[in-house]
């Protein structure tokens, strides 16, 4: 037993990397669901953004242009979801599933006809991908870092060497909290998800508020997807989101639809993913060998426990999933 092994720097470093796309997608879902629009299309939006970000980065040679293209595609899908579920009052779950299927198919087809490399984009290099930012004096290669002492390890591995999106994420949680709880817009957004009738009576357009929410959701999902293909990886591979949109959704429920809790939940889930990659550390920490599948399943198990009401109650926004009808 060596409980300190749980705080292995390499695992914490992996946590930061893996939690970033989860956090962005989770906050995307938070905006949408707080406004009363359930969104299980997070996965699809991330995927289409991952594809377009990589494809445009490669073509234009600039990762920033690529990222904006990815965000653009993700927002388009968001608007489609909005059109189906806000304007036409369709079923939000079905629209979300449709978006996931659409993204899964179109990315491979488009990548194949664009690059002819079997549904993937060519490998990105140089300015076409987010390079990791190295702090002054930080070591870059893991093999050198391993030989360094603890403060240098923390500095070089945990703090330094991430992409710009990771550092932006540190600011994004307080920003989201401030918008939701300290601005007029945030109050209205939350109200639209709880009692759209009251918002409407106050003379505010429910439809407009909800569209704003899904657009913000699209932007954040777009960032998450672009980070996957141009930050974490150097190119798009089919289905590369690999269920991260669903884990983000689970994290959203686990966090009870609150921004700071969302940070905690995604860090926890990211940590579990990072730990699943290092069975040797887990074995050192608790003294027994655990199958990695158990760790892979833990985010979902924890979510079910929360949903079952064991750890306080997870109450979704009251008007969630309900299309708003002005008059019957």
Cβ contact 238:155 at 8 Å: no
Q: Does 277 bind other proteins (CB under 8 A)?
A: yes
Contacts with other proteins: how many residues (CB under 8 A)? Answer: 37
Q: Does 299 bind other proteins (CB under 8 A)?
A: no
The interface region with other proteins, picked from 115-123, 169-177, 180-188, 257-265 by CB under 8 A, is 115-123
35 or 274: CB nearest other proteins:
274
180 or 237: CB nearest other proteins:
237
The interface region with other proteins, picked from 141-149, 186-194, 245-253, 304-312 by CB under 8 A, is 141-149
Q: Does 274 bind other proteins (CB under 8 A)?
A: yes
Q: Does 188 bind other proteins (CB under 8 A)?
A: no
91 or 233: CB nearest other proteins:
233
CB atoms within 10 A of CB 86: 25
Question: From the CB of 219, what's the least distance to other proteins, in Å?
Answer: 21
Q: Does 240 bind other proteins (CB under 8 A)?
A: yes
190 or 244: CB nearest other proteins:
244
109 or 311: CB nearest other proteins:
109
Show the site string, 2-41: x = touches other proteins by CB under 8 A, - = not. --------x---x--xx-----------------------
Question: From the CB of 228, what's the least distance to other proteins, in Å?
Answer: 6
Residues 6+ apart with CB under 8 A from 279: 289, 290, 292
For the chain, give the number of residues.
328
Site for other proteins in 197-236 (CB under 8 A): 228, 232-235
Q: Does 159 bind other proteins (CB under 8 A)?
A: no
Q: Does 243 bind other proteins (CB under 8 A)?
A: yes
Q: Does 169 bind other proteins (CB under 8 A)?
A: no
Question: From the CB of 145, what's the least distance to other proteins, in Å?
Answer: 8
Among 45, 120, 188, 210, binds other proteins (CB under 8 A): 120
212 or 276: CB nearest other proteins:
276
Quote the CA–CA distance of 138 and 9 in Å, as a whole number: 15
- Chain-centre distance for alpha carbon 295: 19
Cβ contact 75:312 at 8 Å: no
Cβ contact 108:115 at 8 Å: no
Binding site for other proteins (CB under 8 A): 10, 14, 17-18, 108, 112, 116-120, 123, 141-143, 145-146, 228, 232-235, 237-240, 242-243, 273-274, 277-280, 292-293, 296
């Amino acid at each position: 037993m060596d409980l300190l092994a749980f705080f292995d720097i390499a695992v914490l470093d992996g946590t930061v990397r893996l939690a970033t796309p989860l956090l962005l997608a989770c906050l995307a879902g938070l905006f949408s669901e707080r406004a009363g629009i359930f969104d299980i299309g997070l996965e699809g939006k991330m995927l289409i953004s991952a594809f377009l970000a990589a494809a445009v980065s490669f073509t234009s040679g600039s990762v920033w242009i690529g990222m904006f293209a990815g965000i653009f595609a993700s927002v388009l899908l968001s608007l489609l979801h909005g059109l189906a579920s806000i304007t036409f009052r369709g079923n939000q779950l079905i629209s979300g599933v449709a978006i996931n299927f659409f993204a899964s198919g179109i990315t491979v087809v488009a990548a194949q006809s664009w690059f002819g490399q079997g549904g993937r984009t060519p490998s990105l290099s140089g300015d076409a991908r987010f390079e990791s930012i190295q702090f002054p004096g930080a070591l870059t290669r893991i093999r050198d870092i391993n030989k360094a002492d603890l403060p240098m390890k923390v500095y070089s591995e945990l703090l330094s060497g991430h992409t710009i999106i990771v550092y932006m994420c540190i600011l994004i949680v307080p920003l989201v909290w401030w918008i939701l709880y300290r601005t007029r817009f945030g109050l209205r957004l939350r109200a639209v998800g709880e009692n759209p009738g009251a918002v409407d009576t106050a003379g505010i357009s429910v439809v407009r508020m909800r569209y704003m929410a899904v657009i913000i959701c699209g932007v954040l999902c777009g960032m998450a997807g672009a980070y996957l293909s141009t930050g974490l990886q150097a190119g798009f591979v089919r289905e590369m989101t690999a269920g991260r949109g669903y884990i983000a959704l689970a994290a959203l429920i686990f966090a009870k639809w609150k921004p700071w809790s969302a940070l905690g939940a995604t860090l926890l889930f990211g940590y579990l993913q990072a730990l699943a990659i290092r069975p040797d550390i887990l074995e050192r920490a608790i003294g027994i060998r655990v199958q990695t599948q158990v760790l892979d399943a833990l985010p979902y198990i924890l979510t079910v426990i929360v949903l079952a009401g064991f750890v306080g109650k997870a109450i979704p926004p009251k008007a969630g999933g309900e299309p708003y009808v002005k008059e019957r």
